[in-house]
Amino acid sequence: MKYAYYPGCSLDSTGIEYQLSTKAVAGTLGVELWEIPEWNCCGASAAHNTDRLLSLALPARNLALAEKEGLDVAVPCAACYSRMKATEKAVRGSEDVREKISEIIEMEYGASNRTLALLDVFTNQAGLEQVASLATKPLQGLKTACYYGCLMVKPPRLAEFDDPEDPQTMDRLMDALGAEAVSWPYKTECCGAGFASSRTDIVLQMSYEVLRLAKTAGAEAVVTACPLCMLNLDMRQKEIEAKNGVAIDLPILYFTELMALAFGHKPAAIGFNKHFVDTTPVVRKVEQGRRAKEVQP
Protein backbone atom coordinates (compact mmCIF):
# COMPACT_ATOMS: atom_id res chain seq x y z
CA MET A 1 0.00 0.00 0.00
CA LYS A 2 1.36 3.36 -1.01
CA TYR A 3 -0.12 6.75 -0.19
CA ALA A 4 0.82 10.31 -0.78
CA TYR A 5 1.44 11.78 2.66
CA TYR A 6 0.49 15.30 3.63
CA PRO A 7 1.91 16.04 7.10
CA GLY A 8 0.67 19.63 7.28
CA CYS A 9 2.21 22.33 9.39
CA SER A 10 1.77 20.71 12.84
CA LEU A 11 3.52 17.45 12.23
CA ASP A 12 6.97 18.97 11.99
CA SER A 13 6.44 21.16 15.04
CA THR A 14 3.84 20.97 17.80
CA GLY A 15 2.72 17.58 16.61
CA ILE A 16 6.13 16.01 16.20
CA GLU A 17 5.09 12.95 18.22
CA TYR A 18 2.24 12.42 15.74
CA GLN A 19 4.84 12.40 12.96
CA LEU A 20 7.23 10.05 14.76
CA SER A 21 4.53 7.56 15.65
CA THR A 22 2.92 7.75 12.22
CA LYS A 23 6.18 6.79 10.56
CA ALA A 24 6.71 3.97 13.03
CA VAL A 25 3.23 2.58 12.47
CA ALA A 26 3.49 2.91 8.70
CA GLY A 27 6.74 0.95 8.87
CA THR A 28 5.21 -1.89 10.85
CA LEU A 29 2.05 -2.02 8.72
CA GLY A 30 4.06 -1.90 5.51
CA VAL A 31 2.30 1.25 4.37
CA GLU A 32 4.55 3.37 2.17
CA LEU A 33 4.11 7.10 2.75
CA TRP A 34 5.32 9.32 -0.06
CA GLU A 35 5.59 12.83 1.33
CA ILE A 36 4.24 15.29 -1.19
CA PRO A 37 7.29 17.29 -2.32
CA GLU A 38 7.15 20.98 -1.48
CA TRP A 39 3.70 20.75 -0.02
CA ASN A 40 2.06 23.99 1.04
CA CYS A 41 -0.23 25.01 3.90
CA CYS A 42 -3.82 23.76 3.52
CA GLY A 43 -5.18 27.10 4.65
CA ALA A 44 -7.22 25.70 7.52
CA SER A 45 -9.02 28.18 9.79
CA ALA A 46 -7.91 31.30 7.92
CA ALA A 47 -8.48 30.75 4.21
CA HIS A 48 -12.12 29.68 4.16
CA ASN A 49 -13.04 32.70 6.22
CA THR A 50 -11.32 34.94 3.73
CA ASP A 51 -12.00 33.68 0.24
CA ARG A 52 -13.68 30.56 -1.07
CA LEU A 53 -11.45 30.16 -4.10
CA LEU A 54 -8.34 30.59 -2.01
CA SER A 55 -9.59 28.00 0.47
CA LEU A 56 -10.01 25.52 -2.39
CA ALA A 57 -6.87 26.39 -4.28
CA LEU A 58 -4.47 25.90 -1.34
CA PRO A 59 -5.33 22.25 -0.72
CA ALA A 60 -5.83 21.65 -4.45
CA ARG A 61 -2.17 22.23 -5.20
CA ASN A 62 -1.16 19.44 -2.80
CA LEU A 63 -3.86 17.12 -4.08
CA ALA A 64 -2.90 17.77 -7.68
CA LEU A 65 0.72 16.79 -6.96
CA ALA A 66 -0.52 13.50 -5.53
CA GLU A 67 -2.95 12.97 -8.38
CA LYS A 68 -0.08 13.27 -10.83
CA GLU A 69 1.54 10.30 -9.07
CA GLY A 70 -1.75 8.43 -9.13
CA LEU A 71 -1.87 8.29 -5.34
CA ASP A 72 -4.58 8.71 -2.73
CA VAL A 73 -3.61 11.15 0.00
CA ALA A 74 -3.27 10.22 3.68
CA VAL A 75 -3.85 13.20 5.97
CA PRO A 76 -3.12 13.00 9.73
CA CYS A 77 -4.55 16.35 10.85
CA ALA A 78 -8.35 16.63 11.15
CA ALA A 79 -8.40 20.25 10.01
CA CYS A 80 -6.24 19.56 6.92
CA TYR A 81 -8.41 16.54 6.20
CA SER A 82 -11.56 18.63 6.29
CA ARG A 83 -10.17 21.33 3.98
CA MET A 84 -8.85 18.78 1.50
CA LYS A 85 -12.12 16.88 1.47
CA ALA A 86 -13.97 20.15 0.86
CA THR A 87 -11.72 20.82 -2.12
CA GLU A 88 -12.03 17.31 -3.50
CA LYS A 89 -15.84 17.50 -3.31
CA ALA A 90 -16.06 20.97 -4.81
CA VAL A 91 -13.85 20.04 -7.76
CA ARG A 92 -15.63 16.75 -8.35
CA GLY A 93 -19.00 18.44 -8.16
CA SER A 94 -18.47 21.28 -10.60
CA GLU A 95 -16.69 21.52 -13.91
CA ASP A 96 -16.59 25.28 -13.44
CA VAL A 97 -14.77 25.04 -10.10
CA ARG A 98 -12.39 22.45 -11.53
CA GLU A 99 -11.41 24.76 -14.37
CA LYS A 100 -10.98 27.80 -12.10
CA ILE A 101 -8.90 25.90 -9.58
CA SER A 102 -6.69 24.30 -12.21
CA GLU A 103 -6.05 27.72 -13.65
CA ILE A 104 -5.14 29.23 -10.27
CA ILE A 105 -2.72 26.45 -9.28
CA GLU A 106 -1.39 26.21 -12.85
CA MET A 107 -1.80 22.45 -12.75
CA GLU A 108 -4.50 20.07 -13.84
CA TYR A 109 -6.52 18.77 -10.92
CA GLY A 110 -9.51 16.52 -11.54
CA ALA A 111 -9.92 14.96 -8.07
CA SER A 112 -9.55 11.47 -9.46
CA ASN A 113 -7.65 10.49 -6.30
CA ARG A 114 -9.14 10.30 -2.81
CA THR A 115 -8.32 12.19 0.35
CA LEU A 116 -8.28 9.83 3.32
CA ALA A 117 -7.90 10.53 7.00
CA LEU A 118 -4.78 8.81 8.33
CA LEU A 119 -7.07 7.24 10.94
CA ASP A 120 -9.07 5.66 8.14
CA VAL A 121 -5.90 4.48 6.35
CA PHE A 122 -4.38 2.81 9.42
CA THR A 123 -7.65 1.07 10.41
CA ASN A 124 -10.22 0.43 7.69
CA GLN A 125 -7.82 0.50 4.74
CA ALA A 126 -5.05 -1.51 6.40
CA GLY A 127 -7.54 -3.90 8.01
CA LEU A 128 -8.08 -4.25 11.73
CA GLU A 129 -7.24 -7.97 11.69
CA GLN A 130 -3.80 -7.11 10.44
CA VAL A 131 -3.48 -4.39 13.08
CA ALA A 132 -4.53 -6.84 15.79
CA SER A 133 -2.10 -9.47 14.60
CA LEU A 134 0.77 -6.96 14.70
CA ALA A 135 -0.09 -5.80 18.20
CA THR A 136 2.49 -7.98 19.88
CA LYS A 137 2.44 -5.83 23.00
CA PRO A 138 -1.31 -5.38 23.51
CA LEU A 139 -2.49 -2.45 25.61
CA GLN A 140 -3.98 -4.77 28.16
CA GLY A 141 -6.72 -3.12 30.18
CA LEU A 142 -5.96 0.49 29.29
CA LYS A 143 -9.14 2.54 29.47
CA THR A 144 -9.25 5.13 26.72
CA ALA A 145 -11.69 7.87 25.76
CA CYS A 146 -11.63 8.10 21.97
CA TYR A 147 -11.91 11.73 21.05
CA TYR A 148 -12.70 12.46 17.41
CA GLY A 149 -13.23 16.18 17.83
CA CYS A 150 -15.29 18.32 15.55
CA LEU A 151 -13.73 17.80 12.13
CA MET A 152 -12.67 14.18 11.82
CA VAL A 153 -16.18 12.85 11.20
CA LYS A 154 -18.12 16.06 10.64
CA PRO A 155 -19.75 17.48 8.65
CA PRO A 156 -21.07 14.19 7.27
CA ARG A 157 -21.13 15.48 3.72
CA LEU A 158 -17.33 15.80 3.82
CA ALA A 159 -16.14 13.12 6.21
CA GLU A 160 -17.75 9.93 5.11
CA PHE A 161 -15.89 7.11 6.78
CA ASP A 162 -17.72 7.03 10.08
CA ASP A 163 -20.87 8.04 11.91
CA PRO A 164 -20.87 11.79 12.67
CA GLU A 165 -22.48 11.46 16.11
CA ASP A 166 -21.21 8.19 17.49
CA PRO A 167 -18.11 7.24 15.48
CA GLN A 168 -16.50 3.86 16.09
CA THR A 169 -13.28 3.73 14.06
CA MET A 170 -10.97 4.61 16.94
CA ASP A 171 -13.04 2.58 19.38
CA ARG A 172 -12.62 -0.50 17.22
CA LEU A 173 -8.94 0.27 16.85
CA MET A 174 -8.53 0.36 20.64
CA ASP A 175 -10.27 -2.98 20.79
CA ALA A 176 -7.86 -4.41 18.20
CA LEU A 177 -4.93 -3.11 20.24
CA GLY A 178 -6.21 -4.77 23.39
CA ALA A 179 -7.29 -1.54 25.07
CA GLU A 180 -10.77 -0.62 26.18
CA ALA A 181 -12.74 2.27 24.71
CA VAL A 182 -15.04 3.75 27.34
CA SER A 183 -18.48 4.89 26.33
CA TRP A 184 -18.68 8.64 26.76
CA PRO A 185 -20.76 11.44 25.29
CA TYR A 186 -18.15 13.94 24.11
CA LYS A 187 -16.54 12.00 21.28
CA THR A 188 -17.38 14.60 18.67
CA GLU A 189 -17.68 17.81 20.66
CA CYS A 190 -15.39 20.70 19.88
CA CYS A 191 -12.33 21.54 22.01
CA GLY A 192 -12.56 25.19 20.97
CA ALA A 193 -9.52 25.22 18.70
CA GLY A 194 -11.11 27.78 16.38
CA PHE A 195 -10.63 30.34 19.16
CA ALA A 196 -7.22 29.02 20.16
CA SER A 197 -5.55 32.40 20.25
CA SER A 198 -8.43 34.90 20.17
CA ARG A 199 -10.63 33.68 23.02
CA THR A 200 -8.67 31.30 25.19
CA ASP A 201 -11.28 31.64 27.93
CA ILE A 202 -13.75 29.82 25.67
CA VAL A 203 -11.16 27.23 24.75
CA LEU A 204 -10.39 26.54 28.38
CA GLN A 205 -14.07 26.07 29.14
CA MET A 206 -14.75 23.77 26.18
CA SER A 207 -11.64 21.69 26.65
CA TYR A 208 -12.41 21.39 30.33
CA GLU A 209 -15.78 19.82 29.48
CA VAL A 210 -14.07 17.29 27.22
CA LEU A 211 -11.53 16.35 29.88
CA ARG A 212 -14.10 16.30 32.68
CA LEU A 213 -16.42 13.92 30.83
CA ALA A 214 -13.58 11.65 29.73
CA LYS A 215 -12.45 11.45 33.32
CA THR A 216 -16.01 10.85 34.59
CA ALA A 217 -16.36 7.99 32.14
CA GLY A 218 -13.33 6.35 33.76
CA ALA A 219 -10.77 6.98 31.03
CA GLU A 220 -7.07 6.75 31.87
CA ALA A 221 -6.06 8.46 28.64
CA VAL A 222 -7.69 10.44 25.86
CA VAL A 223 -6.92 9.34 22.31
CA THR A 224 -7.05 11.89 19.55
CA ALA A 225 -6.35 12.15 15.85
CA CYS A 226 -5.92 15.91 15.69
CA PRO A 227 -2.92 18.07 16.56
CA LEU A 228 -5.15 21.00 17.52
CA CYS A 229 -7.14 18.92 19.99
CA MET A 230 -3.83 17.67 21.35
CA LEU A 231 -2.60 21.18 21.86
CA ASN A 232 -5.67 22.26 23.79
CA LEU A 233 -6.15 19.17 25.89
CA ASP A 234 -2.50 18.50 26.61
CA MET A 235 -0.71 21.85 26.69
CA ARG A 236 -3.56 23.73 28.38
CA GLN A 237 -4.44 21.01 30.88
CA LYS A 238 -2.44 22.61 33.71
CA GLU A 239 -4.17 25.94 33.09
CA ILE A 240 -7.57 24.23 33.01
CA GLU A 241 -6.83 22.48 36.28
CA ALA A 242 -5.78 25.73 37.90
CA LYS A 243 -8.75 27.67 36.62
CA ASN A 244 -11.24 25.09 37.83
CA GLY A 245 -9.41 24.06 40.94
CA VAL A 246 -9.36 20.40 40.05
CA ALA A 247 -6.78 17.73 39.31
CA ILE A 248 -7.28 16.02 35.97
CA ASP A 249 -3.98 14.30 35.14
CA LEU A 250 -5.25 12.78 31.98
CA PRO A 251 -2.56 11.86 29.42
CA ILE A 252 -3.50 12.74 25.85
CA LEU A 253 -2.12 10.52 23.09
CA TYR A 254 -2.39 10.23 19.36
CA PHE A 255 -3.98 7.00 18.17
CA THR A 256 -0.75 6.39 16.26
CA GLU A 257 1.25 6.53 19.50
CA LEU A 258 -0.88 3.79 21.01
CA MET A 259 -0.63 1.76 17.82
CA ALA A 260 3.14 2.09 17.79
CA LEU A 261 3.33 1.20 21.48
CA ALA A 262 1.28 -1.95 20.90
CA PHE A 263 3.43 -2.78 17.89
CA GLY A 264 6.41 -2.83 20.24
CA HIS A 265 8.07 0.50 19.46
CA LYS A 266 9.96 2.17 22.30
CA PRO A 267 7.90 4.97 23.93
CA ALA A 268 10.71 7.49 23.66
CA ALA A 269 11.20 6.78 19.97
CA ILE A 270 7.62 7.62 19.18
CA GLY A 271 7.36 10.78 21.22
CA PHE A 272 5.79 9.67 24.50
CA ASN A 273 8.19 12.03 26.24
CA LYS A 274 7.08 15.03 24.20
CA HIS A 275 3.79 15.64 26.02
CA PHE A 276 2.93 18.18 28.67
CA VAL A 277 0.91 15.76 30.75
CA ASP A 278 3.05 12.87 31.90
CA THR A 279 2.39 9.79 29.77
CA THR A 280 4.40 7.31 31.84
CA PRO A 281 1.29 6.14 33.76
CA VAL A 282 -0.04 4.84 30.46
CA VAL A 283 3.12 2.91 29.72
CA ARG A 284 3.22 1.58 33.25
CA LYS A 285 -0.44 0.57 33.23
CA VAL A 286 -0.03 -1.28 29.96
CA GLU A 287 3.01 -3.15 31.21
CA GLN A 288 1.30 -4.04 34.47
CA GLY A 289 -1.73 -5.32 32.59
CA ARG A 290 0.44 -7.44 30.38
CA ARG A 291 2.36 -8.89 33.27
CA ALA A 292 -0.85 -9.70 35.14
CA LYS A 293 -2.12 -11.45 32.08
CA GLU A 294 1.06 -13.48 31.73
CA VAL A 295 0.76 -14.65 35.34
CA GLN A 296 -2.76 -15.90 34.99
CA PRO A 297 -3.37 -16.61 31.32
CA 97 – CA 22 distance, rounded (Å) = 33
Residue closer to other proteins (CB basis): 126 or 159: 159
Would you count residue 208 as binding other proteins (CB under 8 A)? no
Residue closer to other proteins (CB basis): 118 or 159: 159
Q: Which of 12, 32, 163, 278 binds other proteins (CB under 8 A)?
A: 163
By rule CB under 8 A, what string of x and - marks binding of each residue 119-138 to other proteins?
--------------------
* CB-based contact 192:206 (threshold 8 Å): yes
Strand partners, 74: 5, 116
Q: Which amino acid is it at 23? A: K
* CB-based contact 89:158 (threshold 8 Å): yes
Would you count residue 218 as binding other proteins (CB under 8 A)? no
Would you count residue 30 as binding other proteins (CB under 8 A)? no
Would you count residue 166 as binding other proteins (CB under 8 A)? yes
Strand partners, 252: 222
Would you count residue 45 as binding other proteins (CB under 8 A)? no
Would you count residue 165 as binding other proteins (CB under 8 A)? yes
Would you count residue 189 as binding other proteins (CB under 8 A)? yes
Q: How large is the angle between the packed helices 16-29 and 255-262, nearest 10 degrees?
A: 40
* CB-based contact 252:233 (threshold 8 Å): yes
**Alpha helices by DSSP H, the chain:** 16-29, 47-50, 52-68, 78-93, 95-105, 118-120, 128-134, 169-177, 200-216, 227-230, 237-244, 255-262, 280-295
Would you count residue 248 as binding other proteins (CB under 8 A)? no
Would you count residue 246 as binding other proteins (CB under 8 A)? no
Residue closer to other proteins (CB basis): 21 or 169: 169
Shortest CB 264 distance to other proteins, Å? 36
Shortest CB 58 distance to other proteins, Å? 28
Strand partners, 146: 223
Residue 267 DSSP symbol: G
Q: Which of 41, 213, 235, 248 binds other proteins (CB under 8 A)?
A: 213
Pairing of strands 252-254, 180-181: unpaired
Residue closer to other proteins (CB basis): 164 or 289: 164
Task: Give me the residues that bind other proteins (CB under 8 A), please.
Answer: 163-166, 185-186, 189, 213, 216
